[in-house]
Amino acid sequence: MYYNKPIETNEREIDMPFDLKTLLIVSGIMIAAIIIIGLFLYLFFRSAFYGIRAFFITDNGKAGEHEKILEPVHAVKRRKQKSVSEPLVEVCTLVRKSDDRLRIIEKDGTEKITDAYYELIFDTRKHEELRIACSAEVYDKIPFDKEGALTYRRNTLVKFKYYEKKKEIIISD
């Protein structure tokens, strides 16, 4: 059976004027819309927000020495050679020589060197390490600690040009 009498509850209803109710509802909808739009803009333009944030958080150069040590070090990216025929030229200094040889000594006393591989390790001005393969003659000729122009193709030496006593010396493979 249906009763016309409302169900009784222990809660009291707050009576507000119609204008105040409307104002609260409209302001709540506006705040929710602003939050949703702000969240959308933040997710859509995240890199722009990072740039703005970085502008306000930048270091003014007065940081302690311990903070500078903890900064991340970004590796220097080495240029990639676009084609095989294009030689690259770098200004660098020879810092290390390494070789890998197999020396065979026979019973009769003859020596034979096989599988010889010679490698020169250069340090560029950008502090990159270049490993360049070369021949035995070039391996012996190139001096240490002489800054010069290294021309190489892939990882093979083409020529190394440096100056000694105002005289240009070119060593080529």
**Residues 31, 32, 38, 39, Cα dihedral to 10°:** 150
- Dist. CA 33–CA 38, nearest whole Å: 8
- Dist. CA 118–CA 133, nearest whole Å: 6
Claim: this prediction has a pTM higher than 0.85: no
Per-residue pLDDT of the chain (173 residues; tens, 9 = 90+): 555 655 565 556 666 777 888 999 999 999 999 999 988 877 777 666 666 666 666 655 555 544 444 555 555 555 555 566 678 888 888 888 888 888 888 889 888 888 888 888 888 888 888 888 888 888 888 888 888 888 888 888 888 888 887 766 677 76
Task: Kindly give, in sequence order, each residue whose CB lies less than 8 Å from that of residue 113, ignoring residues fewer than 6 positions away.
Answer: 101, 102, 103, 104
